[in-house]
Structure 1
């Protein structure tokens, strides 16, 4: 396949230059190559970055041409992607729904989707309100907070812990473990083991005493998933919800705090919070790029000749600002959900409505309790971590008038009651050697 000259940093999707300004790089590639651009990923392996909105949907919606089965990747077949390659943990085939096509994908995906659809959305919002207020109570007296660390990151995991049927005692520890896994600290491997152990115990407990929760519904689903399949899909749902929903919450809060027009539209009733979330999903999707799809045969896309076994990257952020569909980015995109933030086709994110519910309910609780929040630093001082697939705020410091937490609210009626745990959460086993996790390498938090 055609590729840019070796050593040309403009065509690399990794490294300091690419990570400093990913959107600028996407536009440079669009100007040079059009809707589909040849790029290099880690190890200078060739790939195609799909920049056009229509072309992204074409790839996502036609698995017969562009498969999710990474065993088709020619470079991997030829031994160019060794076990210690940065992309191996996320590109090596796994027996989960997002690496499958056809009948097996329908079996696994059906179990996940149908189980998620059994939740009562009002019940989910009660959980979100409960945990959002608990988090706010923890910093309301101080008059300051980091909305990434203290709110956007813990809220999704606390809610998802309840939805999968874990006792409350597991929530805070799973938040800590998920952060540790993604950031690739010296205890990231131990944290990964903790999550696996917790999920294995959860599945065993739910098999003995089922409840009205996601884990129990996976266990009883007609597809008869095995315990390892259930554990891997629980991990996939938990970590994906954690990272993407945390990014959505943080990006929306940043927009509310820094864009006067945005805040005025919300306070003046010209824009609802769900409208604001959709605008952020257009402008700053939680995942900028998705790896990957693999061509099932020689084909053409966006004027480029794609060869069988080539890898393609879905450029969600780039496709959302495609001038073919958004010639004027200053015009709000009210009521339009045709963005690519949740991908599309048979692999479109199955939990997107739950993610939206967590984000808009949580942000509403926060802004209602602390309407006087102000950014504690100049907007230009905010920093992001960027990687091949994600761009997220490092911190979002705010100040506000300190206030006492209100009296404790009555317990929230459970939407997915969990059986009591027979033992406390397993202790975190510390490891002495620093080993970056695959989540860290994927999301650039190593």
Structure 2
């Protein structure tokens, strides 16, 4: 945020920046300017093929940001009627899931992860929980075996970070999803992949796996960061703790506050100028690239003069972008976050940070800011069961693994397919009493 504010102070709401390799671009820092750029596709296109440095051949094939900005046949890189056709297939497929069913699946996956460290009395809620759970859920929603999750977590994180191996990571994800689409063409199931294939928009195989890639990468990256940041706030912010305990806030309120203060994606590769134009006092030429500074926009003093004032119930933040390309799967990320934390606190009600808050460390990239670890301690529970109200299915036994998907397993990738992740055995179930402090306020109804 210090960098964004120094750019704002020097250049105003739109500032010039350099990408890897010294390629010039603009970063949009102002709240209103982001809405302007995101909401006027006639001036600011999503078609990255119009980028002048692509046209002039100045972007090398190993450019580390290429997996995130190279044009693909997906709604994210299109405008107009073609974007509408493809986006309809995505939104329709995402909306076919039953919300109660998704939350039940999230709860079961959360219990599975908690079982792996509950008996130790300590854990790292980044590496052992937050970075694993979203992909566990997403692989199920896409109709993939959940043992592919760990490898996909590593590949997606590497790709978004724009490292030297990001291109290879992207190739692994693409090959995995291409195999999935071939399988589902012959044997569809109750999953997003099958619904995209069957949709009336008649997507090609290339369009299907490209959209699956977008869903997988965007949903995992944003949800992992949102889950980590919300957990940190619940565990470290005394105002948040007091508001939850006193009923002034609910857990979904905390999630929205985090989306304002620390959006999962700080900056996104946003638009390419379709014409010579002006925005935020800067003259932008046709073919220029503009990054959307979502975190900077959320902290724009022109619309939020006091960032310490809570914004309960206010969803006008920019965490999921805005305009025709606003994230269609944002509610899945919200559901994973608040359901996962509710489950964690139900199992480990006295969980607390094991180091001083000031010792927490982050790693920053061009799009994201990652909390590296969140070490906690807690009283080892005598039972891994539920309290009868917030467990996987209102008191049903907690399974030791996710329910097997009806779809067949993927063909293992040569020398790359991950080995199945062993699931530790659970302790015998015993009915436990309700915890009557935070639980009453955090239960998801």
* TM-score, with length taken from structure 1: 0.85
1:428 aligns with 2:416: yes
Q: What is the match of residue 388 of structure 2?
A: none
- Once residues 53 and 260 of structure 1 are traced to their aligned partners in structure 2, the CA distance between those partners, rounded to angstroms, is 29
- Once residues 180 and 56 of structure 1 are traced to their aligned partners in structure 2, the CA distance between those partners, rounded to angstroms, is 27
Q: 1:422 to 1:30 in 2, by over 3 A?
A: closer
SS of 1:240's partner is helix
SS of 1:141's partner is helix
Q: 1:140 to 1:187 in 2, by over 3 A?
A: farther
The runs of 4+ residues in structure 1 deviating greater than 6 Å are 183-190
Q: What is the match of residue 271 of structure 1?
A: 249
Q: What is the match of residue 226 of structure 2?
A: 248
1:59 aligns with 2:59: no
SS of 2:9's partner is helix
- Once residues 417 and 166 of structure 2 are traced to their aligned partners in structure 1, the CA distance between those partners, rounded to angstroms, is 10
Q: Select which of 12, 18, 21 maps to 1:43.
A: 21
Q: Select which of 117, 124, 130 maps to 2:102.
A: 124
Q: What is the match of residue 7 of structure 1?
A: none
Q: 1:319 to 1:261 in 2, by over 3 A?
A: same
- Once residues 398 and 356 of structure 1 are traced to their aligned partners in structure 2, the CA distance between those partners, rounded to angstroms, is 23
1:143 aligns with 2:121: yes
1:146-157 equivalence runs, <5 A: 146-157=124-135
1:361 aligns with 2:339: yes
Deviates more, 1:227-236 or 1:114-123: 227-236
SS of 2:379's partner is coil
SS of 1:385's partner is strand
Offset of 1:192 from its aligned partner? 4.9
Deviation digits for residues 90-116 of structure 1 (CA, Å, limit 9, x no counterpart) = 222222221111122112211111111
- Once residues 163 and 429 of structure 1 are traced to their aligned partners in structure 2, the CA distance between those partners, rounded to angstroms, is 19
- Once residues 40 and 82 of structure 2 are traced to their aligned partners in structure 1, the CA distance between those partners, rounded to angstroms, is 16
Q: What is the match of residue 437 of structure 2?
A: none
Offset of 1:373 from its aligned partner? 1.4
Q: What is the match of residue 389 of structure 1?
A: 367
1:228 aligns with 2:216: no
Deviates more, 1:53-62 or 1:365-374: 365-374
Q: Which runs of 5+ in 1 are unaligned?
A: 1-22, 431-446
Q: Is the 8 Å Cα contact of residues 49 and 314 (structure 1) preserved in structure 2?
A: yes
Deviation digits for residues 281-317 of structure 1 (CA, Å, limit 9, x no counterpart) = 0000000011131111111111111111111111100
Q: What is the match of residue 442 of structure 2?
A: none
Q: Size of the alignment, in residue pairs?
A: 408
Offset of 1:81 from its aligned partner? 2.0
Q: Select which of 354, 358, 362 maps to 1:380.
A: 358
Q: 1:173 to 1:93 in 2, by over 3 A?
A: closer
Query: Which of 1 and 2 has higher RCO (CA within 8 Å, sep 6+)?
Result: 1
Q: 1:325 to 1:394 in 2, by over 3 A?
A: same
Q: Select which of 397, 407, 415 maps to 1:409.
A: 397
- Once residues 73 and 422 of structure 1 are traced to their aligned partners in structure 2, the CA distance between those partners, rounded to angstroms, is 37
SS of 1:47's partner is strand
Q: What is the match of residue 322 of structure 2?
A: 344
Q: 1:397 to 1:42 in 2, by over 3 A?
A: same
Q: Which runs of 5+ in 2 are unaligned?
A: 386-395, 419-445
Q: What is the match of residue 206 of structure 1?
A: 184
Deviation digits for residues 228-257 of structure 1 (CA, Å, limit 9, x no counterpart) = 221121122112111110000000111111
Deviates more, 1:149-158 or 1:26-35: 26-35
- Root-mean-square deviation (Å): 2.6
* TM-score, with length taken from structure 2: 0.85
- Once residues 333 and 107 of structure 1 are traced to their aligned partners in structure 2, the CA distance between those partners, rounded to angstroms, is 35
Q: What is the match of residue 406 of structure 2?
A: 418
Deviation digits for residues 21-72 of structure 1 (CA, Å, limit 9, x no counterpart) = xx11111111122211122222222221111111101100111000011111
Q: Select which of 256, 259, 263 maps to 1:281.
A: 259
Offset of 1:389 from its aligned partner? 0.9
Offset of 1:361 from its aligned partner? 0.5
Deviation digits for residues 86-142 of structure 1 (CA, Å, limit 9, x no counterpart) = 333322222222111112211221111111111111110000000001111110111
Offset of 1:190 from its aligned partner? 6.8
Deviation digits for residues 154-184 of structure 1 (CA, Å, limit 9, x no counterpart) = 1111111111122344445544554566678
